[in-house]
Structure 1
Amino acid sequence: MPATFVVLSPNHASGQRKQTRGRSFKLSRVASPNRQKRIQVTRACDWCRVHRIKCDNNYPCQNCHSRQGHCSRRERSKTRTLPSAVREIEKLEERIRQLEEQLQNPTKPVNDGSLVPAFLPSEQRGSKLREGVYSAGVQCAQRRQWYGLLSNFYYISRLRSHLTIALQQPQSDCNMQPKSASQVFVSPTSSKSADSSLAETALSADLGESGSYLTPTQEDYFLSLFWESYHCTFQILDEGEFREHYRSLWETSSPTRKSSALVDIILAICMQYGLAFLPREDSNSEPKAMVDGNDATIAGRWYYHRSQMLLNSQLENPTIMTVQCQILTVKYLCNASYQNMAYSGLATAVRTAHLLGMHLEPPADMPREQRELRRRVWWTLYCMECKTCMKLDRPWSAPFSLITCQLPADDRQLALISGSNFASYGENLTWLTYTQQITKMMLAVRTVFVAFADKCGDVVASNSGRGIYTDPQTLEDCAIFLGSKMEVVRSWESQVPAGMKTKRKNDGVALSTDRTMLDIELYAPLWLQRQRLMLELLYHNLLMNLHRPFICFPSTLATENDSSTPLVSPSQSVFSNATPMTESHTRLCIEHAITITRIMHQVLTGSDILSGMHEAFHFQWNATVSLIGFILAFPLSPLIPEARENIKNAITVFETFGRHFAVGASAANVTWNLVAKADYLTERFHAQLASLELQSSNTPDLLHSYLGTLTVDNMNLAGQSLDFMELMNFPMSGTTDLGFSLDPFASSEQFFSGSINPDDAWVPNQS
């Protein structure tokens, strides 16, 4: 039977074979010598298949390797035969049988990791156990939020648990946190209560009337506040471009301007800032701690609401202005204490920035001022997410490994063309230096935070999920690890320009915890003074949070019949002997908290540099709960008198803020409440120690049996050394004057008798 063959010249190259295609001849079949059977290939790569040449099983194949091109083969192919397919089916059937047996046997736990699809790469799975806590006191289980081990909320939950055990009374959330707008209203634009049902809050926005918006003159006033306040720390706008944009909105015959999401959100945060300077209507009486619709923290909410409506229409085709609006939206929510909304808003902003490629290096053909503006916008967003994620100890939305955008520059030439009229200050300092230094600091602290969080995750995994507070040595290992990672933060501190640091009096060291007073430069511009103070406050706040997990709260395993067993233990003596690094981190945490309080007290009582800065209030509250926790955990520490003195200063700071917004007054009340409880427990503890001293001479083993009943955050203290005489010789005079004088031998049941709400006994009179 005749066959058809394609005739090719042996001298032709493979690229010239197209010329011979289609030429066919009728030839008789010619016998050819037997050739070796070719190796079976599952599927040729794309390049070999297109060019119809022989491929192989290697990756890359020989042809792609020779031409140094991309090969579409992902891995070495395996021959697919019927026996191999049968073996694969049998393996899967056996796996199904095992899983069915596990589901039928409830006593045998199901390994969740085995249910993960096998094709999911192992590095994408959660390999570390992360300890955390769900928010308490929420009636609806669907509303409970998760906070990680290193979060502020987790620390407060440990403080609450300790007080619940020590006072033998449940502690409510309302007496552990100041009353903010997020605890009163379901959203900044709603009058619905935060405790409303899900159905009631489905449509929760209250649309504003025309009277809720500003006149053109009022708009000009509040917009001018932006350049005096936020622009020096949020360097994401070109002032000249914005003014031109705002002017274009009025180029109509209409008495009102065109809508602009950017203008609206700037007006919203400037109203928050501006109204925080004004005294509240009830300032003639005691500051009220109840947030209402006129509170400064939610001022401008109608502009915020309109801005969000306009932003929603830009999400499909965003611009850099969209990202700028989203950053300022997050700032507005943080000021109003809507931290979960801010966390979600950050994720949206990061995705929008990714869509625009802002995490990548800007194109080289773009003007320099535009390239640097993109860098500043991206790194400002990234720093905001770092602060929020570390505060809540929740996952990041911006993976650092994908970022190629360089840090923003801060030279004089760039400062002159960046649209603002801020003058340079010093040789190596411009108004743009702040963003660069904040970014470097956040990257350094983030490096330590991520490493420490991973270490804690390893500890939790090795302890079968029991956490880092299982025993003192486990906590000490974590403390040693954290100490070994702090060098990167010290390196950042050493390179900060001198002009970015607030000087100290009496030869004090800037950015230190040496207790020296600030030497605020009298003739320095306001923008520079704010940059210096916010940089230092943020620095101390971040480091305080890193060291704070090592504050361990004492508790007991006392039985119900043994009501006289002490509920506070001298944990600082245990740590000083057995776990020196744990004690060192605890001391550093309190020193940073004291420094924050001293700075806030000096600045707020002597100037208005930080007036209206809501973030400064959050710094002070964070420092205050650290000081209160330290007093409860270490009642015999030499730092106790200084810690108590600074709590007095913190209350003064809160009362100063309380004259302008309600959450400040509420924070002062909560602080008084917690200090009163700390005083009660401290006096009871010292009375019990005095009783033990009288009995110790007759019963030498009494103290050891006493320690055997104590735990510190579930750590058994039996066998730990304790210098009893050293504890008893500690001077306590003048250290309990902040709270109420209580009978130290009275039990918590007697103390709370006759009180409808246990917490009412601790709350000072509010009006």
Structure 2
Amino acid sequence: MGVEGLVEGDAETPDGGRPVFLGRSSAAAFISEVRGNSLKRRRGDDGVRVPSTNSPASQTSRLSRRAEVDIADLMQQLLLPPRRVADHHLEYYWKYLYPFNPIFHRATFNQRYEEIWTQNLPTTSSPSGPSPEIEDADAIRAFYSLFNILIALGSLHSTPSPEGRSTSSKAVTGDTFFNRAENLITERTMSHNTILSVQVYILMAHYLQITGKVNKCWVMVGTAIRIAQGLGIHLSSASESQAQQQERRRTWSFCLQMDRILGMMFGRQPMAWPHAPDPVPALCDDELLSMEPFSSIRSIPRNEESVLGYFVYSVRYSELLLEVLKVVYTQDVANSAYQGGFRLETYFELLRLDSLIGEWYSQLPPHLVVQADEDFVGEATVTSQAVAMLCRYALPSVAF
């Protein structure tokens, strides 16, 4: 049996964590396949299976007892701010940051968020995760970490809070919630292969980028990408809903964007070099996405005015940015420049990339383009997005 498709996600981690993605060429996948074929042959010889003390029922019973203890211990560690403080900072996250990087399905997050205040535990199953019945302390830990990092991000843009704090305390407030999020992350969280873990690490990296802690940001992005690759987040599943599919694609796309932006910033080779472009998230608002299983096979209506417009076109831009980085690392452009100029082939390649970036900018919807005679009035977020797109259009010219 091949290891791609279902089997790619069927290999369990050594510590008993969730299944991980195994590529066809991996040694672990080869050993798993050989072991499976060997078991088939042995069962075929006598037709009798030896009873195992590690039956699924007994394993489930032991895991349930351990999970109850883990959850009880975790609940003693969790700290929640007053509801009005959390609402205040999240409001600014939704207003100023979410339109730029809308990586999760907002309705699903809001449901979990409400459950924090109305139930003992939130329903931590994401649109891309397993059912709530098999969630454990690691899933709850990951969600509370996500909750704290969103408050940290929102606090960077918020006005004085209901508690009367001045705007000068934004960094202190942000760092407080960031530290809470970071303290909830453990080695076990890295083995907890769900999209929640990926979202926690990439949003922590985003916070570090905004606050200027770029070296730690670089490490966090790498961690997010490795967890995502282990999860097989780039793989499609026929059983997933449209909401699951889009949250998965948005999260992976944001990981790739951060990887490439930091690669350009530091002059380093990105971690992820896909052989072919991954599917771009759809230009469609969350309200129009179905949450029914198997609905991902249906077409998703396109809306050029979607709030995801900036994010989707940024994903396409990051693919062009990757092409620029490939030129730098495969043709040694920097050394060529110091040795008296570029080779003719390099000039042609740079002109080709410049043409592609110009074509990308010309395809932007009107609300994402700064007009020459336009006064900077209107909705602040849309204006910021248009200015950011103009800066991205000019970036390669500055880089070269």
Under TM normalisation by the shorter chain, which class is it?
A: 0.5 to 0.7
Given candidates 357, 378, 387, the residue that maps to 2:232 is 357
Q: CA deviation at 1:436?
A: 1.4
Which 10-residue stretch deviates more, 525-534 or 239-248?
525-534
SS in structure 2 at match of 1:400: coil
Task: Tell me which amino acid in the other structure corresponds to 1:499.
Answer: H
- Structure 2 Cα separation of the partners of residues 500 and 276 of structure 1: 30
| 1:342 aligned onto 2:226 | no
* Displacement after TM superposition at 1:527 (Å): 4.0
**1:375–1:406 contact (8 Å) kept in structure 2:** yes
Tell me whether 1:392 sits opposite 2:260 in the alignment.
no
Counterpart among 177, 194, 202 of residue 303 in structure 1:
177
**In structure 2, do the counterparts of structure 1 residues 338 and 275 end up closer, same or farther at CA, with 3 Å as the change threshold?**
farther
Where does residue 149 of structure 2 map in the other structure?
265
CA distance in 1, matches of 2:205, 2:318: 18
| Correspondent of 2:396 among 516, 536, 543 | 543
CA distance change for structure 1 residues 376 and 334 in 2, over 3 Å: closer, same or farther? same
Following superposition, the deviation at residue 488 of structure 1 comes to 1.6
Letter in 1 for 2:243: E
**1:622-637 correspondence to structure 2 within 5 Å:** none
Q: Does 1:451 align with 2:327?
A: yes
Aligned pair count reads: 293
Residues 501 and 249 of structure 1, relative CA distance in 2, 3 Å threshold: same
2: CA distance between counterparts of 1:343 and 1:394? 10
SS in 2 for 1:483: helix
Determine if contact 2:234/2:248 at 8 Å carries over to the other structure.
no
Q: Equivalences for 1:404-423 in 2 at 5 Å?
A: 405-411=278-284, 416-417=288-289
8 Å contact kept, 2:152–2:175: yes
1:490–1:306 Cα change, 3 Å: same
Letter in 2 for 1:372: Q
Superposed CA RMSD: 3.6
Gaps (5+ residues) in structure 2?
1-33, 39-76, 122-139, 292-301
Q: Counterpart of 2:315?
A: 439
Could you say if the C-alpha distance between residues 474 and 416 of structure 1 is closer, same or farther in structure 2, counting changes exceeding 3 Å? closer
Residue 256 of structure 2 is matched in structure 1 by 382
Match 1:326 to one of 181, 184, 201: 201
Deviations, residues 119-151 of structure 1 (Å, cap 9, x unaligned): xxxxxxxxxxxxxxxxxxxxxxxxxxxxxxxxx
Cross-structure match for 2:369: 501
Q: 1:411 to 1:307 in 2, by over 3 A?
A: closer
Question: How far off its partner does 1:351 sit?
Answer: 0.7
Structure 1 residues 219 and 347, CA gap change in structure 2 (3 angstroms): same
Q: Distance in 2 between matches of 1:427 and 1:253?
A: 39
Counterpart of 1:225 (choices 62, 73, 92) is 92
Mapped partners of 1:337, 1:276: distance in 2 = 22
Higher helix share: 2
Deviation at 1:238, TM superposition (A): 1.8
* Matches for 1:112-511 after TM superposition, within 5 Å: 214-252=81-119, 260-274=144-158, 296-297=170-171, 299-312=173-186, 313-360=188-235, 362-401=236-275, 405-411=278-284, 416-417=288-289, 428-456=304-332, 460=335, 468-471=337-340, 473-474=341-342, 481-505=349-373
CA distance in 1, matches of 2:227, 2:160: 31
Q: For structure 1, which runs of at least 5 residues remain unmatched after alignment? A: 1-45, 51-209, 284-293, 420-425, 461-466, 506-517, 548-767
Q: Which has the larger radius of gyration?
A: 1
The whole-number CA distance in structure 2 between the counterparts of 1:335 and 1:232 is 16
Q: 1:342 to 1:418 in 2, by over 3 A?
A: farther
Q: Distance in 2 between matches of 1:318 and 1:221?
A: 31
**After superposition, where does 1:639-658 map in structure 2 within 5 Å?**
none
CA contact (8 A) 1:264 1:306 kept: yes
Normalised by the length of structure 1, the TM-score is 0.35
Percent identity among equivalent residues?
20
1:275, 1:299 within 8 Å by CA — same for their partners in 2?
no
Query: What secondary structure is seen at the aligned counterpart in 2 of 1:241?
Result: helix
